[in-house]
Amino acid sequence: MIRGQSEYIGAVVLVTLTIIVVYVASEWLSLIHSVSKNAVEVVENMKEVIDVAFNDGNVTIFNRSPRKNYIELMYVKLLNGTVVIKKVDTYVAPGKSIDFHLGYKYDNVYSVCIETANGNIFCGYKTHYTAYSHIEYWSYERLSPTYLSFDPVNHVPYRAKRVIAPNTYFYVYAVPVNHVAIATAEDEMLQAFNIYVNTDFSDINEGKYIIILANNGVKINNLSNLVDHNDYTSALYWDITKNDYVLDVCIDLSEIETGWFYIHYIPKGGLRGEYSSYMFITVSNNSCKDHQNNNKTIYFRFWQGESRTRVSAVWLVTARSIRVYSYQYTIDLYSLEFYPYNITRNILSFPSSIYRNPIATTLSVFALSNTHIQILELTMVPKLDDTNN
């Protein structure tokens, strides 16, 4: 009796274990199938690489993946914020493209996106290149990662008078981030100032002017060159036929401003000996008329036989007036510029909505001492069709 009961119990346990194993195995198979299916879907989704270009009312979809891609929906976002959804239901063969005509005016559309059968979404923004079917970016390193050490006149790591195309972006990576400013000539203030030569301060009533006091040892070349953002066109230079030289330049900003003051000059030599010829730059919260009261020296230079190389100097100042004075310290003066502090930034862009054509400008990057910096330029450029190569 006992033996029969044990055999019966053993049989029941065996049957129960068999059921459990079969159930668990079934769950494992279901789980393996589900994971495999998800993995396949993820791989298939990752294979889709699509470019979308919108130009003059037409949308072109480029398939850059090695498999056929099915397009289900198209989303058209208008400038007023409206989103229009269009049913597409078509496919694009590998390496091929298809075109759609939207029926909307070019200036009314902000962006176009497409959704594939796999749920992937690809977007494109309107371009202005009617002759090209595809656009991509080129990247340039204008300044490799470097450390700007201490210098009393700070640094101008990049400055060039150049052409800048639409859809161009400049990225200045800096630590500390607020130690740099990237600007164009359009940001600069002094080009709108009146310039007076050998005029008594009492005759000037308004602010926002530049006054130049010079004796016979200073020759005026072209005063417009002083504010033309070009470091290779001189405005004032030393008259070598004269044995004296005094130059006094004062900039009146009309009110106290914080900004980047830039000067570019070439030293020519001293006329009165090493410690009798000097140059200084001071700033003041007063106007040019009262600049001599409560001013602060930001630069002082004796003639010490330095070579005749170009000097690009920049300071971040807070002042109403800025004075450059040179006594028997002969210089050729090329540029005076002042950029308000609100242009202090590390990203500068030229979006198509503002600059639809290339512009010629002077691009400058100013940086304080003790700054780590890198400068990159990213430009959207057209890629020609094979038929145009």
- Do the beta carbons of residue 219 and residue 237 sit within 8 Å? yes
**What is the rounded average pLDDT of the residues 125-154?**
72
Distance CA 136, CA 121 (A): 19
- Mean residue pLDDT across the chain: 82
CATH 1.10.287.610 given to domain 50-126 = no
Sign for the CA dihedral angle at 307, 308, 309, 310 comes to positive
Cα–Cα dist 286/297, whole Å: 14
CB-CB neighbours of 117 under 10 Å: 15
Per-residue CA distances from 206 to 202, 222, 254 (Å): 11, 23, 8
First-residue to last-residue Cα distance in the chain: 97
DSSP at 34: H
Amino acid at 117: A
Q: Give pLDDT, residue 220.
A: 93
Would you say residue 7 has pLDDT above 70? no
pLDDT band, residue 128 (cuts 50/70/90): very low
What are the phi and psi torsion angles at 200 (to 5°)? -70, 140
Name the residue with higher pLDDT: 360 or 44. 360
Query: Does 105 have pLDDT greater than 80?
Result: no
Which amino acid is present at 146?
T
Report the pLDDT averaged over residues 244-266.
95
Cα–Cα distance between 54 and 56 in angstroms, integer? 7
> What confidence tens digit (pLDDT) does each residue in 207-232 have?
899 999 999 999 999 999 999 999 99
Give the mean pLDDT of 261-290: 89
Name the residue ranges covered by the structural domains of the chain. 50-126, 137-187+342-383, 194-225+236-309+317-332
User: For residue 220, which of 196, 200, 253 has the smallest C-alpha distance?
Assistant: 196
pLDDT for the residue numbered 153: 84
